[in-house]
Amino acid sequence: MIPKSRLDEKIKEVKDLEKQIGDRDRQLEDLKKIDAEGLQEKIKELQKENETAKTEYETKLKDTQLTSALKLALNGKVHDTDLVAGLIDKTTIELGEDGNITKGLDEQIKTLQESKSFLFVQKDEGNSSSFRGFTPAGGTPQNNVDSQKANEDFGKNLANFATNNKDLDKARDSYFN
């Protein structure tokens, strides 16, 4: 004779195994429904999209590096770097490994300077006409040595004023205390 509890355990075990077999059958049916060729096509499509995204990223990165190097090279030479950078053909410019422009820019700058010189900052070639102030009425023009002596005297007078002024000491005491 077999105890009832043992029989119940075996019945429960059989039901669990039948349920597992049913689950496996459903999984196999689901796998049969999946289109392997469709998955392969989807994988190829995703690979192509990733490749185009990679090339677009590399193109944008190169363009950004080129634009930055171009603006850096034009800085101080032109009035508006963005405007001049837009006029330059970037396809003929080559960047070195360090990110600096190696060739192709100088020729384009020369042609732009000839055709649109107003875009470029003019260099001073010794013709500096600087404005100077005028001598006030009753004043005398000073040369460089006299102005240095006046600056030294002013500094000494200011130092003496600061050390000998008792009101200044009182003001400091009242402010900091």
Average pLDDT, the chain: 80
- Average pLDDT of 102-115? 86
Collapsed DSSP state (helix, strand, coil) of residue 35:
coil
Query: What pLDDT band is residue 15 in, cutting at 50, 70 and 90?
Result: very high
Beta bridge partners of 94: 103
pTM assigned to the model: 0.47
Q: What is the pLDDT of residue 133?
A: 65
Q: How far apart are CA 68 and CA 85, in angstroms?
A: 10
Cβ atoms 102, 65 nearer than 8 A: no
129-146 mean pLDDT: 59
Statement: residue 68 has pLDDT above 80: yes
Higher per-residue confidence, 143 vs 3? 3
How far apart, in whole angstroms, are the C-alpha atoms of residue 70 and residue 131? 35
